Structure 1
């Protein structure tokens, strides 16, 4: 008899059983696109449909996903609506650049994010996590914190330390609020985007975000200027980090100063955001799964007591890693990957079914629906970290799980993020328990990333038998 408790099913929109009207589509896309999708999106391998007379192919089949993102990736560019939303913020940053500009930037940054180089950040990640954990010691036992805000602060501290040597020029303590404001104001669909209005047409919903975007641009400019002065005074003494690497690439054969600024903004404004959201959702799901939490705590205690180097924790804490990966499945930080076909294309499934993709067709690959798809997952809406334990993950197709995308544009920081998450979870859960309260009532909302509406207020308490100095 299976004595395991029923898995926790975290909050998410129920698939629509009736297609939305045109007005409902507009309202839902503007408020929360995650609530738009109907039963077919969670049960069929692909769907051909139309949005505002524009032909769209919604793709869930792993083989077809591979075709679009890998095998014939050169035929698929970023979709127009995605660029209308993101380019005003990031311009030619790595997430939005295309063609030669993207290739040049990706090649320039790749050395920093190789698995080997990322492992070199482990000690800094550990130190910043331990420093941040002190916050809960200083502010009282059993106090309630908004964990979604806290994880943004923590991941920003780690990003700042590892990639910028702690030298990002910020002058306020409300950075988390600024990030949320930037994504809320600037990272949402505007009615003009749906109508494919040119970029110069004002987007009323984003007017309020221009101030905070200007603030981020100012942070980037000051950070660059301060480091350039250090390099000018004494090149050998300047930190040899991501920031210095980018600045050294300036020139006719490298990156323009504008491209460098755009990429720094991309990492400061969004580089830590995806990990922060996934960490918060992990702590929330674990708090509602006591049997999972018990296994994670036992694993963390054993590995940390052994004195293992943090660079090895990713491999030595399979349950911690699995819980984070399961949270990434249920709440993918990037819930949609939007492409558009450049030329006519065709794909044939193993059972002989053909899919024709005409030039100009929008292709939606949505980790949100793919990760909850009934064809590919057992109990797809449930939090079940055991799916990702080493003995089970072989049954997961590479292209049915896309928290970091796939193909040439796969997230450059995937290894960095996985290592950071395991180290942060281990440090926090070694010392504390994170529990839900009656006010913990999150609802997933798509604002570029999958964020919790209403925040994630959680009660933080010391674990019994663990001293405040435990590490």
Structure 2
């Protein structure tokens, strides 16, 4: 007899059962794109839709996803709408660059994010996480309420700043994280002009307030570059060999231009910490609603930390902590859609004879939001069940049914970095504190560039009573 408690089912929009009107599509796209998707997106291997006579193919079949993102990747470019939203912010950063610019940038940055190199950051991640949790010491005995969504943004910014930039980002450290948040929230959303494919020079009224924030943040990035360049010139023996230095050393013929370097620094300061921050907050929320999962994680954390294992080993030694984070990534993927557009006609046939014809110009959506909750590929797809990612179970998960970091040549370059960062941060926080839901919580996921809680995530933080 199965004595496990019923798993927690966290909140998510209910798929609609009838086609939306054009006005309904526009409203939901502007308010919360996660509410756009109907039942077919969560039950069928692929589904074709039309909006203003433009065809869109929503792809969930792992074989077809592999075909688009790996086997015939050269036939698919970034979709126009995605670029209209992101390029004004990131320009030729790694997330938005294409062609030769992307190839040069990816090759230049790859050495920093190899698994071997990423593991070298573990000690810094541990030290910064321990420094961060001290903020909970005052008031934790009484169970003070903190907005965990904001806290995780601050934590991951501190971790990224220390590891990739040696803590040397220009500007007020207390406000830079908020500047990043403002930039992504004001600029990183769909405008009606994007949906109508208006050219970039047409004003986007929803983003007018974001231009000032963007100019301020680009000023911070420019100052950061100038400060490091001065140090490299005047004190070359005393320059940190970090991500910032590496990029600046690549400036020149055959390397990256100063504008491209600025774009990539902004990309990593902004998007590089935002995604992990959201996933950490969702993890703490789901774990708080799953006492049996929390018990397993706490036992595991206590045992590993008592053994004095080096933090570089924690990712392998804490399978429950890792699994909880990966399950939160499944239910609330920070990047809920991967948007492509067919350059030429394409055709794919499944092993059982099903065929898909993709015409030139069709928008193709590989949707982690729908794929990760799809009834064909997951048991109890809406439930929080970290055990599906434990070592003995994860072999049953197809590589192309779980895409929190994408797939193919444009797989997230910082995936190993993010996984290690998350496990270390969760272990440090949950070793000393418990995070519990509060009566005032009204959690609802919305898509604003990333998948985030609509009104923040107020949680009660209390000191744990550790066993002697």
Q: Same fold (TM over 0.5)?
A: yes
Q: TM-score w.r.t. structure 2 length?
A: 0.99
Q: TM-score, normalised by structure 1?
A: 0.98
Task: Check the 8 A contact 1:334/1:448 in 2, yes or no.
Answer: yes
Contact 2:189–2:448 (CA under 8 A) maintained in structure 1: yes
User: Could you say which residue in structure 1 is the equivalent of 2:434?
Assistant: 433
- The 3 A distance-change label for structure 1 pair 47 and 411 is same
How far apart, CA to CA, are the structure 2 residues paired with 1:94 and 1:144? 37
* Mean CA deviation greater in 401-410 or 167-176: 167-176
CA gap of 1:140–1:297, structure 2 versus 1, over 3 A, is: closer
Q: How does 1:35-74 map to 2 (within 5 A)?
A: 35-74=35-74
Deviations 1:361-409 (A, max 9, x none): 1000000000000000000000000000000000000000000000000
In the alignment, which residue of structure 1 is the partner of 2:199?
198
The CA deviation at 1:140 is 4.4
The match for 2:304 is 303
1:227 pairs with 2:228: yes
Distance 1:154 1:458 in 2: 16
Report the Cα distance in structure 2 between the residues aligned to 1:139 and 1:241, rounded to whole angstroms: 37
Question: What are the superposed Cα offsets for residues 264-287 of structure 1, whole Å, 9 maximum, x if unpaired?
Answer: 000111111100000000000000
Q: Secondary structure at the match of 1:47?
A: strand
Matches of 2:345 and 2:236, distance apart in 1: 51
Contact 2:339 2:363 survives alignment (8 Å): yes
1:283 and 1:439 map into 2 onto residues whose CA distance is: 16
2:410 is aligned to 409
CA apart distance, 1:300? 0.2
Shift of 1:139: 4.3
Q: Residue 123 of structure 1 aligns to a residue in which SS?
A: helix
Name the counterpart of 1:262.
263
Equivalent residue for 2:244? Answer: 243
SS at match of 1:435: strand
Partner of 1:153: 154
Distance in 2 (CA, whole Å) between partners of 1:152 and 1:68 is 33
Corresponding residue of 2:15 = 15
Which residue matches 1:252?
A: 253
Q: Mind listing any 5+ residue stretches in structure 1 that lack a counterpart?
A: none
Distance in 2 between the 1:65 and 1:317 partners? 30
CA distance in 1, matches of 2:74, 2:425: 37
Unaligned runs of 5+ in 2: none
Q: CA deviation at 1:172?
A: 5.6
Distance 1:277 1:466, change over 3 A: farther
- Is contact 1:48–1:55 with CA below 8 Å preserved after alignment? yes
Q: Secondary structure at the match of 1:236?
A: helix
Q: Which residue number corresponds to residue 330 of structure 2? A: 329
What is the alpha-carbon root mean square deviation over aligned residues? 1.0
Aligned-pair CA distance for 1:136: 0.3
Question: 2: distance between equivalents of 1:414 and 1:139?
Answer: 35
Distance (whole Å) between structure 1 residues aligned to residue 248 and residue 236 of structure 2: 12
Q: Could you tell me how far apart the structure 1 residues matched to 2:127 and 2:465 are?
A: 23
SS of equivalent to 1:50:
strand
